[in-house]
Amino acid sequence: MKAYRAAILRFADDRTALYEEDGLLVIGPDAQGQPVVRAVGPYRELVDRFPGLSITHFPGRILAPGFVDLHIHCPQTDVIGSPAEGLLPWLENYTFPHESRFHDGEYATEVASFFLDELLRHGVTTALAFATSHPSSVDALFQQAQQRRLRFITGKVLQDRFSPDGVRDQTEQSLIDTEALIQRWHGVDRLGYAITPRFAPTSTPEQLRGAGELAARYPQVWVQSHVAENLAEIAWARELFPQSRSYLATYADFGLMRDRSVYAHCIHFDDDDRALMRETGAAAAVSPTSNLFLGSGFFDYQGADRVGYRYGLASDVGGGTSFSPFHTMLAAYYVGREGQTKPGLSLSPQHLWWQHTAGAAAALGLAGEQGAPSIGNLNPGCEADFVLLNPQATPLLARKTAQARNLDELLFSLIVLGDDRVIERTAVAGQWWPAQAAG
């Protein structure tokens, strides 16, 4: 067992964080040998319950759950910052040509290694990620995540039409490849597979049908795609699938909406779409830096809460502009505030932080339900993925956080002013990463 003394941040529910100024976090193996939180609470109360425990003290630092990124594209690491007149030209001019390079397994491995290190450097310990349509890009990403002992989910992109040579796959083979990858990787160590139709327009009905059949056959596997991001995309999807009630409903019609299905963006929804999300158990990956960068629109938080469906935060790199959860939380605040196209509101710092940790974990079905692992929080039983935050990381942060009168003011200072400099260390499965940084 190991223990850490510092301030500790965790979550009671979607709007309420628990904060211990002088806390103790005790890490030890669970019945399966997985490192988990064994105890957490005030240092004074806990310290006597664990005599002989070796305790590392981090004065002035905050231990918090590792961040969970609900939607990101590993192969778009180098696509960040590519300007375009909106989503479809961005895909055609930058993204598809770049993704075609991932047929080369060696290249895919080099990018996967950099990508995962960059996530960890920013305090992100779990992601639901797109690979490319090349199965070797999936193997590369899983292998690199396994080496780092991450709880990590990815899958082969399915796109068998309206895609250029080099990324377009073949209907029958794409489904055979998907099933082989599920059998090779899903449930190995901390890895999980996601069936990954890119978005409805670039899949034939046959490919979507096959994906839906796999989703039914493997209910523990995730499903990920994009929906209702951009008006031109929506018009295209409606043209191609006119029988469905809406763009979102197309996915339901092919059996692709269920628990453990995560749809990026979910911007241009009506209340029937929101109800479909709620009824099917699907979750939205809100991607605010991407939506602002590509000019896609503004996620309607009030609409989501009124109808009551699950959502969490995502970087959507490379449409998104940053790996940093702080930048994503700040952009989510901007998007919430926007009040011209929808009701504007001020999302609370605790709710913003929850969306990128415990909320994103709940959206993945990884909040301990029915024996599932629990991530994105630091309550007893949660897997030991956490970050050590330095609220004095920059002169302005030190000055600003010293003046915080309450938890909301402290968290909001970090959200507005923070970046990778705040992430002093990241622990994966109870071990500091990288190992040589441990002390």
User: Which positions touch Fe ion (CB under 5 A)?
Assistant: 264, 316
Q: Pairing relation of β-strands 35-42 and 16-29?
A: antiparallel
Provide the minimum distance between the beta carbon of 254 and Fe ion in the complex, in angstroms, as a whole number.
19
31: how many CB neighbours lie within 10 A of its CB? Answer: 6
How many of the other CB atoms lie within 10 Å of CB of 81? 9
Q: With CB cut-offs between 5 and 8 Å by kind, which of ligand GUN, Fe ion, none does residue 198 bind?
A: ligand GUN
The site partner of 322 among ligand GUN, Fe ion, none (C-beta below 5 to 8 Å per kind) is none
Q: Please report how close the Cβ of residue 29 comes to ligand GUN at its closest, in angstroms.
A: 39
Q: Which one of residues 17, 87, 411, 429 is an interface residue with ligand GUN (CB under 6 A)? A: 87
**Rule CB under 6 A: which of 274-303 touch ligand GUN?**
290
- Residue pair 208/252 in contact by the 8 Å Cβ criterion: no
Binding track, positions 318-357, relative to ligand GUN; x by CB under 6 A: -x--------------------------------------
Does residue 98 interact with ligand GUN by CB under 6 A?
A: no
Assess 91 for contact with ligand GUN (CB under 6 A): yes
Q: The tokens 């002035």 sit on which residue?
A: 60
Binding of ligand GUN by 229 (CB under 6 A):
yes
**Do 256 and 225 form a contact (C-beta atoms < 8 A)?**
yes
Q: Does 156 bind ligand GUN (CB under 6 A)?
A: no
Give the nearest distance from C-beta 96 to ligand GUN in angstroms: 9
73 binds ligand GUN (CB under 6 A): yes
**Please, are residues 68 and 11 in contact by the beta-carbon 8 Å criterion?**
no
| Shortest distance, position 283 Cβ to ligand GUN, whole Å | 17
What is the rounded CA–CA span in Å between residue 99 and residue 76? 7
- Asked whether the beta carbons of 62 and 25 are under 8 A apart, the reply is no
186 binding partner (options ligand GUN, Fe ion, none; Cβ < 5 to 8 Å by kind): none
Residue placing its CB nearer to Fe ion in the complex, 363 or 414 = 363
| 199 binding partner (options ligand GUN, Fe ion, none; Cβ < 5 to 8 Å by kind) | ligand GUN
Alpha-carbon distances, residue 220 vs 125, 191, 258, 309, 388 (angstroms): 21, 12, 11, 20, 32
The residue behind tokens 């502009």 is: 321
Q: What's the closest the beta carbon of residue 240 comes to ligand GUN, in angstroms?
A: 14
d(CA 402, CA 73): 37
Q: What phi and psi values does residue 59 have, to the nearest 5 degrees?
A: -65, 140
By beta-carbon distance, which residue lies closest to ligand GUN? 319
Q: Which of ligand GUN, Fe ion, none sits in contact with 87, Cβ below 5 to 8 A by type? A: ligand GUN
Q: Least CB distance from residue 76 to Fe ion, whole Å?
A: 8
- The values of phi and psi at residue 378, to 5°, are -130, 30
With binding defined as CB under 6 A, does residue 198 bind ligand GUN?
yes
Among 304, 280, 265, 350, residue whose Cα is nearest residue 65: 350
Specify the residue, 133 or 390, whose C-beta has the smaller distance to ligand GUN: 133
Q: What angle do CA 264, 269, 271 make, to 5 degrees?
A: 130
- Which position among 4, 199, 236, 323 is part of the footprint of ligand GUN (CB under 6 A)? 199
Q: Which stretch binds ligand GUN (CB under 6 A): 44-52, 87-95, 179-187, 278-286?
A: 87-95
Name the residue nearer to Fe ion (CB basis): 26 or 74: 74
| Local structure of residue 37 (DSSP, 8 states) | E
Q: In the complex, what is the shortest distance from the CB of residue 381 to Fe ion, in angstroms, rounded to a whole number?
A: 32
> Rounded to whole angstroms, how far apart are CA atoms 346 and 337?
6
Answer yes or no whether residue 133 interacts with ligand GUN by CB under 6 A.
no
* CA–CA distance, 248 with 4 (Å, rounded to integer): 45
Spatial distance between the Cα atoms of 84 and 201, rounded to a whole number of angstroms: 19
Binding flag, residue 316, ligand GUN (CB under 6 A): yes
Report the distance separating Cα 374 and Cα 385, nearest Å: 10
CA 306 to chain CA centroid, nearest Å: 23
Task: Give the footprint of ligand GUN on this chain (CB under 6 A).
Answer: 73, 87, 91, 95, 198-199, 226, 229, 290, 316, 319
